[in-house]
């Protein structure tokens, strides 16, 4: 970025001025890479402080600090001594501009380049080689012609000891892959057309034909044509055969060409390519679906195909076997060379240059391909908690897929390889065990205070020091003798290390699964004893912005500190977390954050009001109070379980919404205060006490303010998470409130539907015999599947119920239906519950009267105490009183 800024790259300038709002006067400083790193590091640190992360900043360090360099030298010397480092000549993804290998962290869009190996088959015209790149060398028996793009530029060049014809773009590709090249002459694609050459395997004479689909920057720009098995080739040949503008001599050549079948594939004709082009309905060689069709057919032939009699001597072999054998045979005969390509191209380096494959001689690698090491890494993964669990497969894949990985480069910031200081360890390799370094950082910072008796510079600390601290090898006495650092300090650091290690849970993001997080597992299993292996990883999704991916080009990035300034830290935190599920991306929405802000402000205001109230001495225990505490208790239980699984969204819903709704209902039921303090404050204080504790990890600033306002000492962040108390669970109180709530809603619904203004409302509780039948129904439904007829017969066998006659039978039939359809949880709560519904309704008379501004009467079905002029009482059911409005 510093380089791009120095070059006044408009995209960087725009991002810096418009997104990060960095004043232009600062740009000169930022052109220096270290200053730029420092600028963003400080900015991010300020953001972390402002958003309220609990970070122990004494442990802060960067990977270019001298002491960190010292630590990494120890790490790499250890890896090298134990055989994890190899030196070799391997292909790497490479930026030609930076002259450095590139990995995920170096590319635009953070894409890990994938390198694939293809075969260059050498077709010949006398002494001149026409190399064609292919992933399917076994189809060489089916080649009918070669393709070139007549619009492209080609060259004849001396490549190592041979004369080759390749596209102009292929020259650089080959140079990067250790070929010695000098261009002898340039020629156009047109000049190559209609020439004939020899198939190096079948010795057949084949022509060079024109095709538009050939890309000169892909492979060598020359393509072998297998129209029997390659959809692109089949389509290009079909178009050429029907091209009216071909000259006669060309027409004569093209007409003779027929697809050659070399692979038998069940369910397909002799020309599978023709079948599949027809199936996809493709009629143009530039149709993008050709890539899909190709992939489809290649995979089918690879897995199910076998070589036929045209592929002698490989007839009968599977495609996979034949491929390996042909590569071997042609390589031995000098007819095949390797070509590496970036499979997921195009990939662009952060400097703006296209990434290529480069072969570095004698480059240093970390050998993740070592089968023993892989086994250890899998062992570690198998014992780890992975959240969300769905990502475990990606880890398994990454552990298998990683092989030798270039670990050093010639330029950049970082630590020099201790045994070969021309090389600098690259950024994904020097940051896989830095979690261990947090322990040391605290002692090494602050001007080296802890080690003041060590007279040399930090770089001179012996490896024995690190061996003891991290691996427990050697003795503190020996280190004290060598370094003069006191034994007490050395033992203290070791003790602190074993206190914190292993890492219980590493929180990171899903894009790091295939690189950093997998390497983190690898290195820990190599260096540390099994009891210090990592125990868990959380791989989060990304934060979306109003459902769109955040990206510079969409101009929808809000830097953290700007968002904090705009919304406040806690609304922002809850805003991000409240849509977060571990296995999906979280969606940021400004309007949501604004409503959360209101809610949090309100919480603080209520806490302050409550804090000013004195709580009366006597403890209250009305049904309503017991209901509130029962609800609070089950909310705490839900929130605790959710928090343990990191289902933060559920925690927020419970703490911020469910408890809030219950509290609102509680207050509404109580009505306006009659005294300056009453029984409710004791209950509300307990509710807010719980809320402050549970919201503390999510909205720490609001929680602390609530905590202090409520009159507590100390900090809520240090207070315990609330303990739920099973004895507070009160099914009767919960059932009573659900009756009141249901009755309120039913009444309001009637008033809305009829438009009545009530003077008097009468509620009739169901007759005792209905409650008896209802309980029987719940009991039977809970025990087993029952048949309605049996249940009615059972009910009617009780003399008391039989005496009621048809109404009892009707109600039995209704009850058993309800009871079997009811949610199990509700049925369990109601089963065996002895409710005094009349009493519940009577207790709520004041409330109903206040709500409906009407006189309230309560009666019971079958009693004459309250009048029932319209015969409403008989429709009463348990939990559903009948309602009469006058």
Q: Which stretch binds Zn ion (CB under 5 A): 346-354, 590-598, 602-610, 866-874?
A: 346-354
**Binding of residue 347 to Zn ion (CB under 5 A):** no
**Binding of residue 353 to Zn ion (CB under 5 A):** yes
Residue 445 in contact with residue 451, Cβ under 8 Å? Answer: no
**Binding of residue 349 to Zn ion (CB under 5 A):** yes
Choice between 198 and 353, CB closer to Zn ion: 353
Choice between 95 and 580, CB closer to Zn ion: 95
To the nearest whole angstrom, how small is the minimum distance from the Cβ of residue 98 to Zn ion? 4
Q: Which stretch binds Zn ion (CB under 5 A): 348-356, 392-400, 557-565, 750-758?
A: 348-356
To the nearest whole angstrom, how small is the minimum distance from the Cβ of residue 101 to Zn ion? 11
Choice between 6 and 270, CB closer to Zn ion: 6
What are the percentages of helix, strand and coil residues in the chain, rounded to 5?
Answer: 50, 15, 35
Residue 552 gets which letter from DSSP? T
Choice between 351 and 387, CB closer to Zn ion: 351
Distance CA 788, CA 818 (A): 11
Distance CA 682, CA 692 (A): 16
To the nearest whole angstrom, how small is the minimum distance from the Cβ of residue 11 to Zn ion? 15
To the nearest whole angstrom, how small is the minimum distance from the Cβ of residue 349 to Zn ion? 3
List beta partners, residue 536.
385
Q: What ranges make up the beta strands (E) of 703-810?
A: 760-765
**Binding of residue 93 to Zn ion (CB under 5 A):** no
Query: Distance of CA 100 to CAs 357, 363, 623, 649, Å?
Result: 11, 11, 73, 43
Question: For the chain, what's the residue count?
Answer: 886
Helix or strand (DSSP H, E) at 174? helix 168-176
Residue 225 in contact with residue 144, Cβ under 8 Å? Answer: yes
**Binding of residue 97 to Zn ion (CB under 5 A):** yes
Determine phi and psi for 130, rounding to 5 degrees: -110, 95
To the nearest whole angstrom, how small is the minimum distance from the Cβ of residue 429 to Zn ion? 18
**Binding of residue 205 to Zn ion (CB under 5 A):** no
Determine phi and psi for 843, rounding to 5 degrees: -65, -25
Choice between 94 and 501, CB closer to Zn ion: 94
Residue 29, phi-psi category: left (phi > 0), alpha (psi -120 to 50), beta (remainder) = alpha
Torsional sign, CA 829, 830, 836, 838: positive
**Binding of residue 7 to Zn ion (CB under 5 A):** no
Choice between 105 and 750, CB closer to Zn ion: 105
Burial of 670 (0-12, 13-18, 19+ CB in 10 A): buried
Q: Which stretch binds Zn ion (CB under 5 A): 96-104, 497-505, 522-530, 553-561?
A: 96-104
Distance CA 244, CA 253 (A): 14
**Binding of residue 95 to Zn ion (CB under 5 A):** yes
Neighbour-count burial for 764-788, b at 16+ CB within 10 Å, e otherwise: bbbbebbbbbbbbbbebbbeeeeee
Choice between 133 and 347, CB closer to Zn ion: 347
Q: Which stretch binds Zn ion (CB under 5 A): 97-105, 230-238, 492-500, 590-598?
A: 97-105
To the nearest whole angstrom, how small is the minimum distance from the Cβ of residue 175 to Zn ion? 17
Per-residue contact flags (x/-) with Zn ion for residues 295 to 334, judged by CB under 5 A: ----------------------------------------
**Binding of residue 351 to Zn ion (CB under 5 A):** yes
To the nearest whole angstrom, how small is the minimum distance from the Cβ of residue 427 to Zn ion? 14
To the nearest whole angstrom, how small is the minimum distance from the Cβ of residue 554 to Zn ion? 24
Choice between 97 and 757, CB closer to Zn ion: 97
**Binding of residue 98 to Zn ion (CB under 5 A):** yes
Choice between 409 and 524, CB closer to Zn ion: 409
Choice between 15 and 107, CB closer to Zn ion: 107
Distance CA 409, CA 422 (A): 9
To the nearest whole angstrom, how small is the minimum distance from the Cβ of residue 355 to Zn ion? 8
**Binding of residue 493 to Zn ion (CB under 5 A):** no
Site residue total, Zn ion (CB under 5 A)? 6
Choice between 353 and 622, CB closer to Zn ion: 353
To the nearest whole angstrom, how small is the minimum distance from the Cβ of residue 106 to Zn ion? 7
Distance CA 719, CA 707 (A): 10
Determine phi and psi for 272, rounding to 5 degrees: -60, -30
Residue 570 in contact with residue 702, Cβ under 8 Å? Answer: yes
Choice between 108 and 620, CB closer to Zn ion: 108
Which residue in this structure is represented by tokens 């849509």?
579
Task: Give SS3 for 586.
Answer: strand
List beta partners, residue 163.
128, 158
**Binding of residue 426 to Zn ion (CB under 5 A):** no
Residue 416 gets which letter from DSSP? B
* Kind of pairing between the strands at 543-545 and 404-406: unpaired
Q: What part of residues 452-471 is at the interface with Zn ion (CB under 5 A)?
A: none
**Binding of residue 717 to Zn ion (CB under 5 A):** no
Q: What part of residues 748-787 is at the interface with Zn ion (CB under 5 A)?
A: none
Q: Which residues bind Zn ion (CB under 5 A)?
A: 95, 97-98, 349, 351, 353
């Amino acid at each position: 970025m510093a380089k791009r800024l120095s070059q006044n790259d408009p995209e960087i300038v725009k991002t810096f001025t418009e997104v990060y709002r960095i004043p232009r006067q600062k740009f000169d400083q930022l052109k220096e890479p270290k200053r730029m790193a420092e600028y963003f590091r400080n900015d991010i640190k300020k953001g972390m402080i402002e958003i309220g992360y609990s970070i122990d900043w004494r442990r802060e360090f960067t990977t270019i600090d001298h002491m960190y360099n010292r630590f990494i030298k120890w790490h790499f010397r250890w890896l090298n001594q134990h055989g994890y480092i190899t030196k070799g000549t391997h292909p790497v993804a490479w930026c030609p501009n930076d002259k450095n290998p590139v990995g995920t962290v170096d590319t635009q869009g953070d894409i890990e380049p994938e390198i694939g190996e293809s075969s260059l088959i050498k077709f010949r015209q006398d002494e001149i080689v026409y190399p064609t790149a292919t992933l399917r060398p076994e189809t060489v028996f089916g080649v009918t012609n070669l393709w070139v793009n007549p619009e492209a530029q080609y060259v004849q060049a001396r490549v190592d000891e041979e004369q080759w014809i390749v596209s102009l773009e292929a020259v650089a590709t080959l140079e990067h892959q250790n070929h010695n090249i000098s261009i002898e002459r340039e020629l156009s694609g047109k000049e190559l057309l209609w020439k004939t050459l020899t198939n190096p395997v079948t010795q057949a004479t084949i022509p060079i034909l024109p095709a538009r689909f050939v890309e000169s920057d892909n492979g060598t720009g020359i393509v072998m044509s297998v129209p029997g098995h390659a959809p692109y080739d089949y389509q290009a040949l079909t178009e050429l055969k029907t091209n009216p503008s071909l000259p006669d001599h060309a027409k004569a050549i093209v007409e003779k060409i027929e697809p050659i079948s070399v692979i038998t594939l069940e369910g397909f004709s002799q020309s599978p390519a023709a079948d599949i082009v027809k199936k996809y309905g493709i009629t143009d060689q530039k149709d993008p679906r050709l890539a899909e069709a190709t992939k489809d057919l290649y995979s089918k032939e690879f897995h199910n195909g076998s070589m036929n009699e045209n592929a002698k001597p490989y007839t009968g072999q599977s495609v996979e076997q034949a491929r390996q054998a042909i590569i071997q045979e042609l390589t031995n005969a000098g007819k095949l060379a390797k070509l590496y390509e970036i499979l997921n191209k195009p990939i662009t380096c952060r400097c703006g240059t296209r990434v290529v494959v480069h072969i570095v001689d004698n480059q240093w690698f970390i050998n993740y391909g070592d089968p023993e090491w892989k086994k250890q890494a899998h062992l570690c993964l198998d014992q780890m908690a992975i959240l969300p669990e769905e990502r475990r497969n990606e880890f398994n894949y990454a552990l298998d897929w990683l092989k030798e990985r270039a670990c050093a480069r010639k330029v950049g910031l970082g630590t020099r390889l201790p045994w070969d200081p021309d090389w600098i360890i690259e950024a994904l390799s020097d940051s896989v065990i830095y979690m261990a370094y947090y322990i040391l950082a605290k002692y090494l910072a602050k001007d080296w205070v802890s080690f003041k008796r060590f007279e040399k510079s930090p770089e001179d600390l012996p490896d024995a020091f690190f061996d003891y601290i991290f691996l427990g090898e050697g003795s503190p006495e020996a280190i004290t003798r060598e370094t003069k650092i006191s034994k007490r300090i050395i033992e203290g650091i070791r003790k602190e290390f074993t206190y914190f290690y292993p890492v219980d849970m590493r929180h990171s993001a899903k894009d790091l699964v295939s690189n950093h997080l997998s390497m983190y597992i690898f290195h820990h299993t190599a260096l540390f004893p099994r009891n210090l292996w990592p125990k868990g990883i959380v791989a989060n999704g990304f934060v979306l912005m109003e459902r769109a991916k955040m990206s510079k080009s969409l101009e929808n990035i809000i830097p953290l500190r700007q968002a904090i300034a705009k919304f406040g830290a806690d609304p922002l935190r809850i805003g991000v977390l409240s849509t977060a599920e571990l296995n999906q991306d979280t969606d940021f929405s400004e309007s949501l954050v604004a409503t959360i802000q209101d809610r949090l402000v309100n919480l603080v205001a209520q806490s302050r009001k409550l804090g000013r109230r004195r709580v009366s001495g006597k403890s209250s225990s009305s049904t309503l109070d017991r209901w509130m505490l029962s609800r609070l208790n089950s909310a705490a239980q839900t929130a605790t379980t959710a928090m343990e699984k990191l289902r933060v969204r559920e925690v927020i819903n419970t703490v911020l919404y469910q408890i809030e709704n219950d509290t609102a209902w509680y207050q509404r039921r109580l009505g306006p205060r009659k005294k300056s303090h009453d029984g409710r404050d004791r209950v509300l204080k307990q509710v807010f006490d719980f809320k402050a504790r549970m919201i503390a990890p999510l909205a720490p600033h609001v929680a602390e303010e609530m905590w202090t306002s409520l009159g507590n000492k100390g900090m809520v962040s240090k207070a315990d998470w609330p303990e739920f108390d099973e004895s507070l669970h009160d099914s009767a109180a919960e059932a009573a409130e659900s009756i009141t709530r249901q009755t309120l809603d039913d009444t309001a619904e009637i008033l809305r539907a009829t438009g009545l203004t009530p003077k008097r409302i009468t509620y009739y509780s169901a007759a005792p015999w209905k409650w008896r039948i209802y309980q029987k129904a719940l009991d039977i439904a809970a025990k087993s599947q029952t048949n309605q007829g049996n249940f009615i017969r059972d009910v009617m066998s009780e003399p008391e119920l039989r005496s009621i006659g048809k109404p009892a039978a009707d109600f039995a039939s209704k009850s058993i239906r309800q009871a079997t359809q009811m949610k199990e949880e509700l049925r369990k709560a109601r089963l065996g519950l002895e409710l005094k519904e009349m009493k519940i309704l009577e207790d709520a008379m004041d409330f109903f009267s206040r709500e409906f501004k009407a006189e309230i009467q309560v009666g019971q079905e079958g009693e004459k105490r309250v009048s029932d002029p319209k015969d409403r009482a008989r429709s009463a059911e348990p939990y559903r009183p009948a309602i009469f409005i006058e």
